[in-house]
Amino acid sequence: MFRKLIPLALCMAAAACTNPNDMDGTTPDLGDFLLGHNIVVASKAQEGPMSRTASEAEWKTAMTDAMQERFGRYDGDHYYHIGTSIEGYVLAQPGIPLVLSPKSILLVNVTVWDDELGKKLNEKPHTISVIETFGGHSIMGSGYTMEPEEQMRGLARNAAKEIERWMLENREWFGKSVAPTSLKAPAPAASMTAGTTAATAASPAATAATPTPAASTATTAVPAATTPTPGAQAVFAPAIEPEVLGPNLP
Task: Choose between 92 and 47: higher pLDDT.
Answer: 47
Other Cβ atoms closer than 10 A to 229: 15
> Is 80 exceeded by the pLDDT of residue 59?
yes
pTM above 0.75, yes or no: no
Q: What is the mean pLDDT of residues 55-83?
A: 97
Average pLDDT (172-193) is 60
Using CA atoms, how far apart are residues 157 and 180, in angstroms rounded to an integer?
A: 22
Q: Which residue has the higher pLDDT, 102 or 149?
A: 149
- The reported pLDDT for the residue numbered 151 is 92
The pLDDT score that the predictor gives to residue 23 is 73
Q: What does the alpha-carbon distance between residue 99 and residue 201 come to, in Å, rounded to a whole number?
A: 51
Question: How many C-beta atoms lie closer than 10 Å to residue 197's C-beta?
Answer: 11
The pLDDT value given to residue 20? 61
Q: What one-character-per-residue DSSP string does 159-197 give?
A: HHHHHHHHHHHTGGGG-S--------PPPPP-EE-TT--
User: Other CB atoms closer than 10 Å to residue 132's CB: what's the count?
Assistant: 28
Mean pLDDT, the chain, integer: 72
Tell me the average pLDDT across 190-212. 41
**156: Cβ–Cβ under 8 A, 6 or more apart, which residues?**
59, 62, 63, 65, 66, 67, 106
| pLDDT over 70, % of the chain | 54
86-120 pLDDT tens trace: 999 999 886 655 455 567 899 999 999 999 999 99
The backbone torsions φ and ψ at residue 187, rounded to the nearest 5 degrees and listed phi first, read: -70, 160
- The set of long-range contacts for 18-23, using a CB threshold of 8 Å and a minimum separation of 24, is 18/130, 18/133, 18/158, 18/161, 18/162, 19/133, 19/161, 20/66, 20/70, 20/133, 20/154, 20/157, 20/158, 20/160, 20/161, 22/161, 23/69, 23/70, 23/73, 23/183
The gap between the terminal CA atoms of the chain, to the nearest Å, is 41
Residue 136 pLDDT > 60, yes or no?
no
Q: Which helix (H) or strand (E) holds 63?
A: helix 56-71
